[in-house]
Amino acid sequence: MVSGFGHVSKECDEEVLGNWSDILSKWRKNYAERPRGLQSLVRKGVPEALRGEVWQLLAGSHGGENEMINTYRLLLTKESASERVILNDLNRTFPAHEYFKDAGGVGQEALYKLSRAYSVRDEEVGYCQGLSFVIATLLIHMPEEQAFMLLCQLMEDQRYLLREMYKANFENLQVRFHQLTCLIQDNLPDLYAHFDDLKVECHMYASQWFLTLFTAKFPLYLVFRIMDIFLYEGFNALFGVALALLKGCQKDLLSLDFEGVMRFFRVNLPKKYRSEDHADELIQTACSMKINVKKLKRYEKEYLTRRAEEEQSEFPLQRLESDNKRLTEICMRSELENEMLALELVNDRVKLKSNLDEAEDHVQTLTRELQATRTIVRESEQHTIRLNDELENIRDAFRRTCDELQQTQKIVSDYKQICSQLNNQLDKQREKYQAKIETFQSRCCESCKPIINSIVSPPSSLASTPEREIVNNDEDDLPPISSISPSVADRLRQVEIELAEKKLALTQALCENQELVHQLRHSSSVTSDSDTNSVNSMRALNNNNNSSTVSWLSKTVNTIKEAASSTNRAKVN
């Protein structure tokens, strides 16, 4: 079962509430004086809805609020030495309660702030495990600031003086244990004897009772009832509760051995008070217990005197010797540890040194690489500049070549024109020649006709067929053309010579053209690296030129050849 269980209802009897409202109205008139009838009402249990106010009134923590709130806020801004322990206990305090169950929730946050603020305020106490349960109990009933004021009151007010108990060496707690032991002896002698036999001592079961004010192991309705009477009566109410608890289970305890007793305290006792009736009974018993304040003082004195005697009874020299021995051992162990640590330190240093060396080497190589890369970059830049220059040159050359090409094309078109003119002239000459032949044939006699026909070959393919037929028919009768027309032969020779000249000119032009094409190709191959696109277009152009040149040239040459062969034949004839 985890702490913080047991639902506490806020509903309350009309009559009880009426009584309380009477008491409270009286009380509010004079805080300093507790009204009559308060004790019996508190012993019956403060209504849950009123607990927040009643607890503060009982402890006298109200008033001077503004000052305390400022103090609280200031404390929150300071560092606490107990930070870690406080954090550790947050989610272990009342995890069964709705308000505290969530890590980082409002309840845990308030618990953290309050524990922290108090630990800063009272450095001698700081934070003590167990305190979180007390603080949580207060926080269930009132806002943070009021809970803080009530806590301070519980710690410092003479009636409670909890800070004495929580102080770091627990000396006061030991006094409380002794007082409780004496009270058991007084009130429950049988149980005292039994525990004495079993060597069951108060600190084995009551540390938690006192340090948490019974808040950690019991259901909340009992926890709050105990808090009611504790706030009303002061610290001694806790003795009453402890005695009542033991008295309530005395029979069980008397029948158990050491283990049984320890187990009973741990398991059975909290279980027993899961019934509200048992809880009420316990409170009534606790209130009925006679706790004599004078006796308690005497027990305290007894304990302190005994402690002092014990300390003195130890032979001083012996004590010093044992102390000395213990310290020497600790010293030796520390020295050994120191040596170990020193060794570790040296090892670590060596490792670090080697790491550093490695890192430096690495840095050096990296620097070298960086320098090399820089040089490469510089070279590349220079190369780029050079290439750009070359590109510029090639572009110029290309531009020049293009100009030349244009000129060449012009020349080529000129030649084309000349050739076509020549062709026209040739055609005209042929027509004239044909006309002359025809006139010549029409004038000559029938016997000469075949001879003439045989020498005169048809000048064109169109006229050839009928003429050849005629020639074939009358071949033997025709006289040689040269013998018939010397003027025509002269004219033919002239035309031949002219043709040869034209041929020569044409061949020259062709050669020239070829040379230009070569040049163009060469220049285009040079520029190819710099500008492939332009080269491609250039090549296309060249190819076009070549093919067109070749086609018209071959045509012309063929016609010329035909003409030449016909004249040659005529000459031979």
Partner 1 sequence: MDNMYSYDYQFRLIVVGDSTVGKSSLLRSFCDGVFSQDPDPTVGVDFNVRIVEVKPGVKVKLQLWDTAGQERFRSITRAYYRNSVGVLLIYDTTNYVSFTHVTSWLNEARAQIQPYHSVFLLVGTKIDRESERQVTTEEGKAFADFHNISFIETSSKSSLYVQEAFTMIAREIYDMLTEGRIHVQSGWDGVKTGPKSANSNQSQPIEIAQNVQPRRNGCCSS
Residue 268 found at the interface with partner 1 (CB under 8 A)? no
- Tell me the torsion sign for CA atoms 421, 426, 427, 429: positive
Query: Which one, 72 or 177, has the nearer CB to partner 1?
Result: 177
- Tell me the torsion sign for CA atoms 538, 543, 546, 549: negative
Measured from the CB of residue 316, what is the shortest distance to partner 1 in angstroms?
19
Residues in contact with partner 1, total (CB under 8 A)?
39
Query: In whole angstroms, what is the distance from residue 48 CA to residue 64 CA?
Result: 25
Q: What share of the chain is helix, strand, coil (3-state, %, to 5)?
A: 80, 0, 20
Measured from the CB of residue 243, what is the shortest distance to partner 1 in angstroms?
19
Question: Interface residues for partner 1 in 334-393 (CB under 8 A)?
Answer: 336-337, 340
Measured from the CB of residue 27, what is the shortest distance to partner 1 in angstroms?
34
Question: Interface residues for partner 1 in 132-161 (CB under 8 A)?
Answer: 132
Crossing angle for the helix pair 83-90 and 131-139, nearest 10 degrees? 60
Identify whether the C-beta of residue 120 lies closer than 8 Å to the C-beta of residue 78.
yes
Measured from the CB of residue 85, what is the shortest distance to partner 1 in angstroms?
6
Residue 307 found at the interface with partner 1 (CB under 8 A)? no
Query: Which one, 112 or 433, has the nearer CB to partner 1?
Result: 112
Which 3-state string (H, E, C) describes 253-268? HHCCCHHHHHHHHHHH
Residue 540 found at the interface with partner 1 (CB under 8 A)? no
Query: Which one, 166 or 415, has the nearer CB to partner 1?
Result: 166
Question: Of 140, 154, 157, 117, whose CA–CA distance to 6 is shortest?
Answer: 140
Query: Which one, 128 or 516, has the nearer CB to partner 1?
Result: 128
For residue 525 the two structure tokens come to: 């191959």
What own/partner pairs with CB < 8 Å and gap ≥ 24 does 407-413 have? Answer: 408/512, 408/513, 408/516, 408/520, 409/545, 411/509, 411/512, 411/513, 412/509, 412/513, 412/545, 412/549
Query: Which one, 203 or 295, has the nearer CB to partner 1?
Result: 203
For residue 227 the two structure tokens come to: 């808090």
Q: Near partner 1 by CB under 8 A, which window of 239-247, 256-264, 402-410, 503-511?
A: 256-264
Measured from the CB of residue 328, what is the shortest distance to partner 1 in angstroms?
12
Encode burial over 343-356: b for 16+ CB neighbours within 10 A, e otherwise: eeeeeeeeeeeeee
What is the number of other CB atoms lying within 10 angstroms of the CB of residue 141?
A: 21
Residue 207 found at the interface with partner 1 (CB under 8 A)? yes
CA distances from 353 to 307, 342, 347, 360 (A): 58, 16, 10, 10
Query: In whole angstroms, what is the distance from residue 48 CA to residue 276 CA?
Result: 14
Which 3-state string (H, E, C) describes 478-489? CCCHHHHCHHHH
Query: In whole angstroms, what is the distance from residue 159 CA to residue 14 CA?
Result: 32
Ramachandran region of residue 214, left (φ > 0), alpha (ψ -120 to 50) or beta? left
Question: Interface residues for partner 1 in 458-487 (CB under 8 A)?
Answer: none
What is the number of other CB atoms lying within 10 angstroms of the CB of residue 310?
A: 9
Sole binder of partner 1 in the list 91, 441, 482, 559 (CB under 8 A):
91
Query: Which one, 86 or 142, has the nearer CB to partner 1?
Result: 86
Q: Near partner 1 by CB under 8 A, which window of 81-89, 273-281, 465-473, 484-492?
A: 81-89
Residue 304 found at the interface with partner 1 (CB under 8 A)? no
Residue 306 found at the interface with partner 1 (CB under 8 A)? no
Identify whether the C-beta of residue 94 lies closer than 8 Å to the C-beta of residue 1.
no
Sole binder of partner 1 in the list 251, 266, 362, 569 (CB under 8 A):
266
Measured from the CB of residue 370, what is the shortest distance to partner 1 in angstroms?
40
Q: Near partner 1 by CB under 8 A, which window of 13-21, 203-211, 494-502, 552-560?
A: 203-211
The CA radius of gyration of the chain, in Å to the nearest whole number, is: 66
Sole binder of partner 1 in the list 39, 129, 185, 285 (CB under 8 A):
129
Residue 124 found at the interface with partner 1 (CB under 8 A)? no
Q: Near partner 1 by CB under 8 A, which window of 127-135, 144-152, 357-365, 491-499?
A: 127-135
Sole binder of partner 1 in the list 40, 88, 382, 393 (CB under 8 A):
88
For residue 344 the two structure tokens come to: 């570790």
Measured from the CB of residue 226, what is the shortest distance to partner 1 in angstroms?
16
Query: Which one, 262 or 470, has the nearer CB to partner 1?
Result: 262
Question: Of 128, 140, 143, whose CA–CA distance to 101 is shortest?
Answer: 140
Residue 172 found at the interface with partner 1 (CB under 8 A)? no
Query: Which one, 22 or 323, has the nearer CB to partner 1?
Result: 323
Question: Of 380, 423, 408, whose CA–CA distance to 518 is shortest?
Answer: 408
Identify whether the C-beta of residue 522 lies closer than 8 Å to the C-beta of residue 394.
no
Residue 211 found at the interface with partner 1 (CB under 8 A)? yes
Query: Which one, 336 or 363, has the nearer CB to partner 1?
Result: 336
Sole binder of partner 1 in the list 251, 263, 378, 428 (CB under 8 A):
263
Binding mask 316-345 for partner 1 (x = CB under 8 A): ----------x--xx--x--xx--x-----
Residue 108 found at the interface with partner 1 (CB under 8 A)? no
Measured from the CB of residue 141, what is the shortest distance to partner 1 in angstroms?
21
Q: Near partner 1 by CB under 8 A, which window of 17-25, 88-96, 247-255, 429-437?
A: 88-96
Measured from the CB of residue 208, what is the shortest distance to partner 1 in angstroms?
4
Residue 68, CB-side half-sphere exposure with 13 Å CA sphere: 17
Query: Which one, 266 or 383, has the nearer CB to partner 1?
Result: 266
Chain residues in the site for partner 1 (CB under 8 A)? 2-3, 85, 88-89, 91-93, 95, 128-130, 132, 168-171, 173, 199, 203-204, 206-208, 211-212, 216-217, 259, 262-263, 266, 326, 329-330, 333, 336-337, 340
